[in-house]
Structure 1
Amino acid sequence: MSVCGTHSGRIVDRNGAVVAQVDTLLEVEWQRVLDDISEARVLIQPDGDCCAALGRVRPWRHKLVIYRNGRWVWEGPIVVPEWRAAGIVELTAYDPLAWLDRRVPHEDMRFASRDLVDIAAWLIRDGFAPDDPGHQVEILAPTKIRGDRQYERNIGQTGDHLRDLAETGLDLTAIGSRIVLMPENFCGRVGSLTDADFPDGLAVVDDGLALATRWIVAGKDDVLGEAGGKDAYFGLLERYVEQTSILDDRSATAAARSRLRTSNPAPVFIDSQQTTLSPEAPVEVERLVPGWCLDVTTTATCRTIAQSLKILGVRVVETGEGERVSVQLTPAGKAD
């Protein structure tokens, strides 16, 4: 059975020393998300010396590492340790992108006609330069979107700068200590699913609130870009956004096109957040990574879908009642 697992954990100091090995967890939950920070939570009832060791855990100093069936699946800094009566300890942790929400640019930098992945890689490298808790950057492919950007020393959070880039044609996700950068039309396939793999059913959601047929992106000073217009089917739905890190019209236009790709037609989500994948589902949970794709065929609702869908998020929960694995999927944006 592919979707059927048990978890264990480890607490690691920033110097690499193992603080505690946690082989029995009352509850565990971990996520993976696209273009944002994922979260994990474990509930522990430690025995013996483990209790004293967990009493020394401090936020941002120590890291939570989670294993599923003995295979590493998640890690990141502990941000909220909580000690309860009866010796129960709850640890909440975020993935390594969270550090970049606590970092700022450390030097002035201006990019001219550079690919978005190169700009993102610099932001990450600069963010971790003064104090690196251990990270890697993997670039799967260039976005082929080139533009001008400017960052000033001590201005803005590095994580916010990265999320701005993720709205203009770049995708990123954290897999443990590895930060993966890719174009938003990347779609490496990791498996195929049908209605039989969602025994509790699923929901197909057409997100009309995200629909837009024309985008206007305003950059710094008089920089402006636009894409789209009146749609023959939907009519005219216009959106305006300001991104002051954009310095040239070409980059603003590329940003507008990127937003248009994911908003017309309206995003259609397949959401299994309230259900669970079947234990016989032909996928490996460890390979369910946001940005990759699953081929999905569903005729269980009035909205039939048979296509390759991008993974937006993964959520794995194990309690005394067993394990639940859910995924959130959406079609990849249209090509220009």
Structure 2
Amino acid sequence: MSVAGCGTHTAQLLDRNGATVAAANVLTEVEWNRVLDGTSAARALIQPDGDCCGRLGNVGSWRNRLVLFRDGQYVWDGPVTSVTWSLGEVEILAEDISVWLGDRVPHESKSFTNVDLSEIAQWLIDDAFAPDDPGHKVKVIGKAGISGSRSYTAGVGQSGDHLDQLAEAGIDYTVIGSTVLLLPETHLVSVGRLSDADLPDGLEVSDDGKALVTRWIVEGSDDSGVIGSDGGVDPVYGLHERYVQMTEITDTASAVEAAKARRRTSAQVPVFIDTQQVTISPLAAIDVPNLVPGWALDITSSSTCRKVTQRLKITGVKVTETGGDETTPGTESVQVQVAAAATEVA
């Protein structure tokens, strides 16, 4: 049975062509996370031994990748973005492959008319990596189920920003290793179950009133002049309006769909369950590599005044291991953040 909190990590530093630059034989600290609709990060603190020091001296940002394994299973991979050498240790910071999208722009002009958002997202990613590909893959778990029209101009805007705007209009993405997963916001496939027994230190349940918007207004490109809206006065919460311009939108129907997608996730005060300050019990029957943002956990808790029995979407995962040496494994902690979609709160 797989459990949380009992894993041991190893790390490798690879060249862009996949060749091993250095192995972290003495990994004293490691931390990695996964996030929904964003770029995850990892940190490895290495104590050089033998000829490892010389090899680690050649590690550089963007030239190399940090690859992490948990109990021999591949769990995290991404380009090195910072290296710090100090007496007796080397600290490696890295981000997942989507960090490249923040340094890329569209390389050709492209227009889409009434197509599923997953198709647009895949094109944005593939186009961003086309001139220089560090080895990405795109896997469509499911269509967004939301169609729209978008227009992109070569050299205008960062590809990562364009993808984030699509994520706000009805599609989710997450990164595992070198693969960008695209999935609908309605994806709620469970990968495990947690109860109060699995959270011995308790958990925190909160609602976020600042996230409430009952009416969205979305304006398209300046040239199109289109505006779409959805929602209005809520009988419980009153009127909370928000305007945003999405310059890649080219027609009214797409602006309306974008407004509807935003209202679906903000029309009621969302409830979050956060274990970021609480470690999941090492005895919890959770397969850590399967904790992927965009999937879900079945949560049952009566430890707070806000009782919860619900399938909730994973929005973040954080795994750390500290205190290990050549002969003694470190102590691992696994933390997860889940949230109820606004449409499910009622």
In the alignment, the residues of structure 2 paired with residue 288 and residue 323 of structure 1 have an alpha-carbon distance, to the nearest angstrom, of: 15
2:162 is matched with: 161
For the residues of structure 1 that align with 2:139 and 2:8, how far apart are their CA atoms? Answer: 29
Q: Tell me, yes or no, if the aligned pair for 2:269 and 2:342 is still in contact at 8 Å.
A: no
Q: Does 1:34 align with 2:43?
A: no
- In the alignment, is the contact (CA less than 8 A) between 1:171 and 1:291 conserved in 2? yes
Partner Cα distance (2:250, 2:196) in 1: 47
Query: 1:334 Cα shift?
Result: 2.4
Q: Secondary structure at the match of 1:162?
A: helix
What residue number does 1:172 align with?
A: 173
Match of 1:231 in 2: 234
- In the alignment, the residues of structure 1 paired with residue 300 and residue 199 of structure 2 have an alpha-carbon distance, to the nearest angstrom, of 11
1:78 has 2:80 as partner:
yes
User: Which residue of 1 is the match for residue 67 of structure 2?
Assistant: 65
Deviation, 1:119, is: 0.3
The 4+ residue runs of structure 1 with deviation greater than 6 A are none
1:77 deviation in Å? 0.1
- The question of whether the paired residues in 1 share the 8 Å contact of 2:271 and 2:342 is answered with no
Q: What is the DSSP-based 3-state SS (H/G/I as helix, E as strand, rest coil) of the residue aligned with 2:181?
A: strand
**Aligned match of 1:44:** 46
The answer as to whether partners of 1:218 and 1:242 remain within 8 angstroms in 2 is yes
Partner of 1:216: 217
Equivalent residue number for residue 327 of structure 2: none
Deviation of the 1:333 alpha carbon: 4.5
Aligned sequence identity (%): 54
Matches within 5 A, 1:1-336: 2-3=3-4, 4-86=6-88, 88-221=89-222, 222-320=225-323, 322-334=331-343
Contact between 1:184 and 1:333, CA under 8 Å: does it hold in 2? no
Give, in whole Å, the separation in 2 of the partners of 1:194 and 1:308.
Answer: 12
Letter in 2 for 1:154: G
CA distance in 2, matches of 1:282, 1:45: 32
> How many corresponding residue pairs?
334
Report the aligned-residue RMSD: 1.1
Partner of 1:10: helix, strand, or coil?
strand
What TM-score results when the alignment is normalised by the length of structure 1? 0.97
Specify every segment of 5 or more residues in structure 1 that has no aligned partner in the other structure, as ranges: none
C-alpha distance in structure 1 between counterparts of 2:38 and 2:180, whole Å: 11
What is the Cα deviation at residue 235 of structure 1? 1.2
